Amino acid sequence: MEELCRCAAMSNTLLGAAKPDIHLCHRLFPFLMNKYPKGAVTLFLRSRLLLVSGDINSAIYHFNCSLESQQKYKQFHHVVYWELLFAHIYLGQWDKAANYAKRLVNESNWSKCIYTYLLCILIAADTTYEEVKKMETVTVLARKVDGLRHRIAGKSIPVEKYCARKANRFIAKHTLMFAHYEFIYFWNGIDVLNGNKQIIHNIFTDLNKIWHERSCGADADDRALYFFLKAVCLRNLQQVTAAEQSLQEVLKLESKLMDFTYLPPYAIYELAILRIVEGIRDEAEALLSKARLYKDYALENKLHFLIHSAMQNLG
């Protein structure tokens, strides 16, 4: 049971430390389902396993079964809402994902800041909304984000600080281009989708569609973000050379970046991952060391964690 929780709960994938042992999960699960067929936790873990295996629709079904299996522990429902939110994002079902973000805003106290930012960017991503009303709603939500931040011992929470900066950028410049896909990346969501290349391809196609429609008014920050997310998709589609070319475009824009100064160190980290894929150990280590030299950017601690994990995996 402990091994299954460690694998299927996907904390290693969520944090970017490593890939879960999917084969081990599949071997352990029949016994667990036979013993606890209607258990909320069992159904939740089965959903997580289906999610990392790329079967998103089945994962959604079993997440809902987990919700229906018990009504006593509402906090557990909030965990499931979070997973359902991401599952619907993967399918491009922005309205359904936004519905779960709204539930979390209304019911959970974990981070109103993050939930409100998520609701903001999911509504912004939904092309079925009437444009004027959509922008009014997004603006109202964006103005709330900064004021919802928590402080622990006087220190900001890094992810909340990142959300607030993104929301403030929208208020100042009226752009949230690719914000929904960027959030997926920082939650390690694109690598989670490695089991379903079609969904990664769909994200890649949507990135290019959005860029084609809006690139004329894009500043250096949005341009760099486009190339960065494009590179991550290409890496997961095993197009290493094209991924490297896109990452080099990010680095060319480094001196022009005003808001997204975290992209260059993350791009160098992604270059290191490409070298690991190619088996070029020395270059990978050099790139990881170079990425670690960057200071004072958003989500710096997360990147240091990823770098440390990659170094450990190199041995």
Q: What is the pLDDT of residues 138-158, one digit of tens each?
A: 999 999 999 999 988 888 899
What pLDDT score was predicted for residue 5?
A: 57
User: Which of 90, 290, 296 has the alpha carbon at shortest distance from 180?
Assistant: 90
Neighbours of 43 (CB within 10 A): 24
**Four-CA torsion 176, 177, 179, 181, nearest 10 degrees:** 160
Superfamily classification of domain 178-315: Tetratricopeptide repeat domain (1.25.40.10)
- 271 contacts 287 by C-beta, under 8 angstroms: yes
Residue with tokens 């606890």: 36
What pLDDT score was predicted for residue 20?
A: 67
d(CA 270, CA 188): 13
Strands (E), the chain: 151-152, 155-156
d(CA 59, CA 45): 10
Residue segments in the chain with a per-residue pLDDT below the cut of 50: 10-16
Distances (CA, A) of 229 to 84, 125, 168, 207, 223: 23, 16, 21, 8, 10
What pLDDT score was predicted for residue 217?
A: 86
Instruction: Determine the Cα angle at 290 with ends 284 and 296, to 5°.
Output: 135
What pLDDT score was predicted for residue 297?
A: 95
Instruction: Tell whether the torsion through CA atoms of 59, 62, 68 and 74 is positive or negative.
Output: negative
